[in-house]
């Protein structure tokens, strides 16, 4: 990558980052206004300063405290990744952490519409059916990702996800 390419890439990145903080919606005449922007901007900026400061502090400390970072750590991780079974162990560890967070933080309840519909469809499967009859007033029970055709109602996702 040449010098000019690096400069253009850095300039494009800077423009994208700077434009990400501008309230463009507030500048459009007659359009929607983002009244919440000033408070959110303060939160973004304080969070960015905290993260950048912590990163800078760790970078400076890593030069003075050898325990924070030692030469060859990257090679050690590369060697570890080539061993058989590492992917399986990492996948199981990630799954265990996900399950822990789901139960401790979210109380094991679905959060997004995909999860809600898969849970709903999973309950139908647990009752021993592939679908449920459409209720008398489907307008009170219809939802995104829920299919109601004729007299049957089920989730749009392949059966494997809800079955889990």
| Chain segment 26-41, per-residue pLDDT in tens | 777 776 777 777 888 8
Q: What is each CA distance from 162 to 5, 27, 83, 96, in whole angstroms?
A: 48, 45, 34, 19
pLDDT at 159: 83
pLDDT at 1: 67
d(CA 97, CA 105): 11
pLDDT at 14: 92
* Residue 163 binned pLDDT confidence (cut-offs 50, 70, 90): confident
Could you tell me which residue, 37 or 94, shows the higher pLDDT? 94
Instruction: Classify residue 67 as left (phi > 0), alpha (psi -120 to 50) or beta.
Output: alpha
Instruction: Over range 61-78, report the average pLDDT.
Output: 77
Instruction: Over range 73-87, report the average pLDDT.
Output: 79
Q: Which of 141, 161, 162 is nearest to 153 (CA)?
A: 141
pLDDT at 70: 72
Could you tell me which residue, 40 or 130, shows the higher pLDDT? 130
Residue 68 scores a pLDDT above 90: no
Computed from CA positions of residues 126, 127, 130, 132, in that sequence, does the dihedral angle turn out positive or negative? negative
pLDDT at 20: 79
**pTM for the whole thing?**
0.45
pLDDT at 17: 86
Residue 133, classed as helix, strand or coil, is strand
């Amino acid at each position: 990558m040449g010098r000019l390419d690096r400069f253009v890439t850095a300039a494009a990145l800077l423009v994208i980052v700077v434009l990400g903080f501008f309230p463009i919606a507030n500048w459009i005449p007659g359009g929607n206004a983002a009244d919440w922007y000033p408070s959110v901007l303060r939160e973004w900026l304080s969070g960015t300063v905290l993260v950048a400061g912590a990163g800078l502090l760790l970078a400076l400390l890593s030069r003075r405290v050898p325990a924070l970072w030692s030469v060859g750590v990257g090679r050690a991780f590369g060697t570890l990744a080539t061993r058989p079974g590492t992917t399986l162990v990492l996948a199981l560890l990630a799954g265990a952490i996900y399950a822990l967070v789901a139960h401790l933080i979210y109380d094991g309840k679905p959060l997004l519409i995909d999860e809600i519909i898969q849970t709903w469809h999973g309950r139908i499967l647990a009752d021993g059916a592939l679908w449920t009859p459409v209720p008398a007033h489907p307008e009170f029970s219809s939802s995104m990702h829920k299919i109601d055709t004729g007299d049957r109602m089920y989730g749009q996702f392949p059966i494997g996800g809800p079955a889990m």
